[in-house]
Amino acid sequence: MDRGKKPSKILAAKNSKFYMDSKDTIREHALAFLPAKSLFRCQGVRRDWMLQISTPFFAHNQTLSYHGISGLFYQTHDNPPSFVTTDPKSCGVPDPSLKFLPVPVDIWSSSNGLLCCQGRTGDKTYYICNPITKRWKNIPKQNANHGSDPAVVLVFEPSLLNFVAEYKLVCAFPSPDFDGANEFEIYSSKEGSWKISGEICIADRKLIPKTGVHVNGIVYWQSRNGGIVSFDLMKDRSQLIQVYSRPYSLIGIMDGKLCTAYSSGNFVSVITLSNVYSNTMQIGSSDETWKDKITFRLDHASLGVSQEYMQILYIGNDVVLGHC
């Protein structure tokens, strides 16, 4: 009888040790991969978890670790923004209408958890804000006239060794000197000022606001009359990229490359940018500007819709979001 009790004590001790080890493993290696809303709930699990989550280093690490899409901000006309979450239990923001900002705003761009907004009245100041922490910063007035619908792109790429949240705003605006041309103005948080690039894109292209994306140091915009306008931040150079214009298409990021997704009938297709210099290759070259990435079929009957096309709203993080 006595001998039978000894293994159970040893087993209980081992289970207790495993329980403690797993708690430490989750705290040190797993928490950073959770979305912000889940982390707020995890603060109530243990005191050491709360202390861990509250440190600036953990916040920095979580920015680098979590790459999922939490949802989309939605805004129409003069209404305040609202947030559509992909998972209400784990993802969300405390104030979707962004009332913590000093004035009503329009959202123009987002990048890795930060938003670029612009006031609707007065000087129409740009604001950079974090909708999770409700922290914000107003941007100094720009030098050029960006127009009423600015084609502005927020560039925020967190780095493991850079604890300062450095970002850039890149805006393509109609040139005041050349009809149909576009110029570029860049704001750097590191410098704290705007700078107008000497580059001018002479191609007659009117850019579509809110379509800009940043991929590997290059900013891209869709144009209303076909093609994509790019601006290389390192080379300070612009380029026009040809792409077959399709209805309801949108540019985005797939596998670290620029891509465009479009809907046709029951199918949604994604193509990625392969070689921007294919038009200068020798005759007979097999290099193509765009390559097919993936095509999948939609069952409109199960979705309860009968429209021929689906408008693509977002593409990135291996997700394609459409509106029927």
Q: Across the 324 residues of the chain, what is the mean pLDDT of every consecutive 10-residue run? A: 52 54 76 85 86 84 79 87 87 92 95 93 94 93 95 89 84 93 96 96 90 95 90 95 80 91 85 75 63 83 68 84 80
The DSSP symbol for 282 reads P
pLDDT for 306 equals 63
The position carrying tokens 């912000």 is 36
Is the CA virtual torsion 214, 215, 219, 224 positive or negative? negative
Phi and psi angles of residue 173, each rounded to the nearest 5 degrees, phi first? -130, 155
Amino acid at 233: L
> Rounded distance, CA 54 to CA 57, Å?
9
Torsion of CA 306, 309, 314, 317, to 10 degrees: 80
pLDDT for 16 equals 57
- Taking only the tens place, the pLDDT of each residue in 258-297 is 999 988 878 888 999 988 765 544 455 556 888 888 888 8
The position carrying tokens 């000087």 is 123
- Show me where the domains of the chain are located: 2-59, 245-324
**Residue 175 and residue 181 in contact, taking contact as beta carbons nearer than 8 Å:** yes
pTM listed for this prediction: 0.82
Residue 170 vs residues 105, 248, 279: alpha-carbon distances, Å: 19, 25, 27
Angle at 159 between CA 157 and CA 160, to 5 degrees: 155
Q: Which residue, among 187, 194, 103, 106, has the nearest Cα to 153 in the 3D structure?
A: 187
Q: Report how many helices (DSSP H) and strands (DSSP E) the chain contains, helices first.
A: 5, 20
pLDDT for 146 equals 96
pLDDT for 154 equals 97
Half-sphere exposure of 278 (CA within 13 A, CB side): 15
Amino acid at 253: I
Helix (H, G, I), strand (E, B) or coil at 283: coil
Using only the alpha carbons of the chain, give its radius of gyration.
24
Return the HEC string of 76-103.
CCCCCCEEEECCCCCCCCCCCCCCCCCC
Q: Strand (E) positions, 20-132?
A: 71-74, 82-85, 105-111, 114-119, 126-130
**Residue 227 and residue 203 in contact, taking contact as beta carbons nearer than 8 Å:** yes
Distance of CA 109 to the CA centre of its chain: 8
User: Which strand ranges, in their side-by-side order, compose the sheet holding 151-155?
Assistant: 151-155, 168-174, 182-188, 193-201
pLDDT for 281 equals 45
> Rounded distance, CA 20 to CA 207, Å?
56
Q: How far apart are the first and last CA of the chain?
A: 70
